[in-house]
Amino acid sequence: MRLRLPGWTPGSYLMRDYVRHLEELTVEQQGRLLPCRRLEPACWLVEPDPQAGELLIRYRVMATELSVRTCHLDGDHGFLALAAVVLEVEGERWAEHRLSCSLPPRWQAFVPLPQQSDGSWIATTFDELVDSPVELGPHREHGFAVGGVAHRWVTWGGAAGAGDWLLQHFPSLLDDVAQVCHACCRLMAVEAPPCNGYLFVLHLLDEGYGGLEHNHSTVLVYGRRALEKPNGYRKFLQLVAHEYLHQWNVRRLRPAELCPIDYHQPPVVPSLWFAEGITSYVDQLLPLSAGLSTPDQLLEDLGEDLSRFLLTPGRSVQSLAASSEEAWVKLYRADAYAADSQVSYYLKGAVVALCLDLHLRRHGTALAPVLQRLWLELGQWQRGYTEQALIAAFTASAPDLEGLLPSWLHQVDDPDLHGYLQEVGLLLQPIVATIPWAGFTCRPEASGLTAQRVWRGGPAETAGLMVGDEVLAIDGQRVRQSDQIGPLLRTDAAQELLISRRSELRSLPLRCAAPRVERYQLTRDPQASRQALERQRRWLRLWEAPW
Ligand SMILES: [Zn+2]
């Protein structure tokens, strides 16, 4: 019999080698220790006597990493990402699993599984167990219903009372979250979510941002300081919308490559752009549809994303499908060169989702009906989709997408973003920087400034600057802070860039280029026609008939 620990958690596409936290594995049968032979770092072979009854498998797991996909335990709380904890017993993947917890006094376990009268929880399969995050602590639970389905909300935030702080500062939080959940249901054209019950776990930290989706729950991380900023609460509701919508898109309406999930080998998934891009696009529209943000705020948020996309040079290097397929080795391992060599499938996926939505509207339909149809045909049965199935679903509503969509996915040419935006009365206005373009940014360190990013093909790279170089002076002027660089740059002559590399001083000839676009702003077109404004009004209401 083989015992294996998963290597990754679905939703977070990086091999995490959870086994590095596992210690002291023993297997016992009738009080006798059995030999365990390690076949792989995370796989053991044991040979029990089939007649001798139960096996007792013991091990310890270090819980020192605080994230939505790792385990953490301190005096205030515990969090278990079960992929990092539970061994898969060969042959038992589809069998029922029972979970029990022994806890300190006054602590409770918050688990998105049905609880039995003896306090244990039942998962119908190993996958359901792995899909159940476990939050532990003396936290208070709040509840609300969506379409008759019970929803629970639990906040942990370091010292006691984070949940109380949250509800004191944002007294409408639970109502607003419920409205966002309703908006998701409405987007999917269903009365109630597909779960039997839903658990929100929020880790409210000083700083941090993220979430991980599950079938019956989500774990969110958000910064208390970010929440206090003017846009913070709106962005928080977008995160809620994003993770909640994932119970449809990606959890149940799932790429075929993740049916079933291989916990030990990273599967190549070309359609992560659909899972994350579509979700990222609508997560901004959902709070708006729920009446919790304004059209101007949507334009601000969408404009930020479009600007980030247009200023990512890597989009002309890596296609959207390649970005999805390479998630394991690129997006989740982004480094100082990432912006020049890759494009996020979240970001470009959201841009393509916007273009798809606006393109479908030319054909009298929209993104929402396509999502709803995919849900009815595949998602609700948890039948996986292939890229061909997605293209066919879009092409059924707009035949010209048959050629267009594959080119958006597999080529590096941009969709006609400006054209689509113009149709709904919007303009992307370039804002040009006031200083010449040198093609590098610096990060302050104790010793001085270090080159943090060097644009591929830009002036600094041409001059010979590399990431990690210490930037000392420009034309003999010592620079110690990033904002001292800009005023020294000029375009009319070569300049001396003095750097230190591996403790050797070097003089580089820097020739700056003219100032470049530093961001784009999404604005209303003052020349927009009445028809364009009407299209804009309908586009901003996700589920209003597009025609
Ligand atoms: Zn997501």
**Structural contact between residues 182 and 290, judged by C-beta atoms closer than 8 angstroms:** yes
Cα(189) to ligand 1 centroid in Å equals: 20
> What is the whole-number distance in angstroms between the Cα of residue 241 and the centre of ligand 1?
10
CA 475 to ligand 1 centroid distance, Å: 47
Question: What separation in Å is there between the alpha carbon of 256 and the centre of ligand 1?
Answer: 17
**Ligand 1 centre distance from Cα of residue 537 (Å):** 27
Q: Tell me how far the alpha carbon of residue 293 lies from the centroid of ligand 1, in angstroms.
A: 21
Ligand 1 centroid – CA 279 distance (Å): 7
Q: What are phi and psi of 249, to 5 degrees?
A: -80, 105
**Ligand 1 centre from 284 Cα, in Å?**
13
CA of 228 to the centre of ligand 1 (A): 23
Token couple for 484: 């001292």
For residue 162, name the pLDDT band (cuts at 50, 70, 90).
confident
Question: Quick one: average pLDDT of 463-491?
Answer: 97
Dump pLDDT digits (tens) for 231-271.
Answer: 999 999 999 999 999 999 999 999 999 999 999 999 999 99
C-alpha–C-alpha distance, residues 303 and 309, integer Å: 10
Q: What is the mean pLDDT of residues 354-372?
A: 96
pLDDT of 544 > 90? The answer is: no
Cα(401) to centroid of ligand 1, in Å?
A: 25
State the distance from the centre of ligand 1 to the C-alpha of 473, rounded, in angstroms: 43
Distance 246 CA to ligand 1 centre (A): 7
Distance 332 CA to ligand 1 centre (A): 13
Q: How far is CA 307 from CA 164, 277, 522, in A?
A: 37, 16, 8
CB 78 within 8 A of CB 137: yes
Distance of CA 230 to the CA centre of its chain: 22
Average pLDDT rounded to a whole number, residues 313-333? 96
- The enclosing H or E element of 440 equals strand 440-445
Pairing verdict, β 217-223 and 198-205:
parallel
Question: Which of these, 475, 385, 388, 403, lies nearest to 438 by C-alpha position?
Answer: 475
Distance CA(298)–CA(90), nearest Å, equals 49
The reported pLDDT for the residue numbered 373 is: 96
Distance CA 277, CA 499 (A): 40
154 CA to middle of ligand 1, Å?
20
- Inter-residue contact 278 to 353 (CB < 8 Å): yes
For residue 36, what are the β-bridge partners?
46
Environment class of 64 (CB within 10 Å of its CB; exposed 0-12, middle 13-18, buried 19+): exposed
Cα of 258 from ligand 1 centre, angstroms: 15
Q: How far is the CA of 243 from the centre of ligand 1 (A)?
A: 6
Q: How far is the CA of 271 from the centre of ligand 1 (A)?
A: 13
Threshold 0.85, pTM exceeds? yes
Give 127 Cα–ligand 1 centroid separation in angstroms: 19
Mean model confidence pLDDT for the chain:
96
Cα 411 to averaged position of ligand 1 atoms, centre (Å): 23
Whole-number Å distance between alpha carbons of 40 and 457: 44
Q: Is pLDDT of 547 > 70?
A: no
Span from the CA of 499 to the centroid of ligand 1 (angstroms): 41
- Domains along the chain with CATH numbers: 1-102+109-136 (2.60.40.3650), 139-246 (1.10.390.10), 256-425 (1.10.390.10), 440-515 (2.30.42.10)
Give distance in angstroms: CA of 213 to centre of ligand 1: 7
Tell me, in angstroms, the distance from the centre of ligand 1 to residue 280's CA. 7
pLDDT of residue 164: 84
Q: What is the pLDDT of residues 164-176, one digit of tens each?
A: 889 999 999 999 9
- The reported pLDDT for the residue numbered 160 is 64
Alpha-carbon distance values, 98 to 120, 183, 247 (Å): 7, 34, 23
How far apart CA 379 and CA 372 sit, in angstroms, is: 9
The mean pLDDT value for 90-107 works out to 96
Q: What is the pLDDT of residue 272?
A: 97
Q: For residue range 6-22, list pLDDT tens digits in order.
A: 999 999 999 999 999 99
CA of 383 to the centre of ligand 1 (A): 20
Residues 6+ apart with CB under 8 A from 193: 146, 147, 149, 181, 184, 185, 244, 247
- Looking at residue 23, its pLDDT comes to 97
Q: Reply yes or no on whether the pLDDT at 183 is more than 80.
A: yes
Secondary structure of the chain: what % helix, strand, coil (to 5)? Answer: 35, 25, 40
Residue 545's pLDDT band (cuts 50, 70, 90)? low
For residue 25, the CA-to-ligand 1 centroid distance in Å is 34
Instruction: Output the CA 263–ligand 1 centroid distance in Å.
Output: 19
SS (H, E, C) 449-482: EEEEEECCCCHHHHHCCCCCCEEEEECCEECCCH
How many whole angstroms from 535 Cα to the centroid of ligand 1? 28
- The whole-angstrom distance between residue 288's C-alpha and the CA centroid of its chain comes to 20
Residue 516 has pLDDT above 70, yes or no: yes
CA 242 / ligand 1 centre spacing (Å): 6
- The alpha carbon of 15 and the centre of ligand 1 are apart by a number of angstroms equal to 18
Q: How far is the CA of 276 from the centre of ligand 1 (A)?
A: 5
Ligand 1 center to 252 CA (angstroms): 13
Average pLDDT over residues 337-357: 97
Measured in angstroms, how far is the CA atom of residue 218 from the centroid of ligand 1? 11
Provide the token pair at 56: 């007792």
pLDDT band at 546 (very low <50, low <70, confident <90, very high): low
pLDDT of residue 333 exceeding 60, the answer is: yes
Q: In this model, does residue 88 exceed pLDDT 90?
A: yes
C-alpha of residue 414 to centroid of ligand 1, in Å: 23
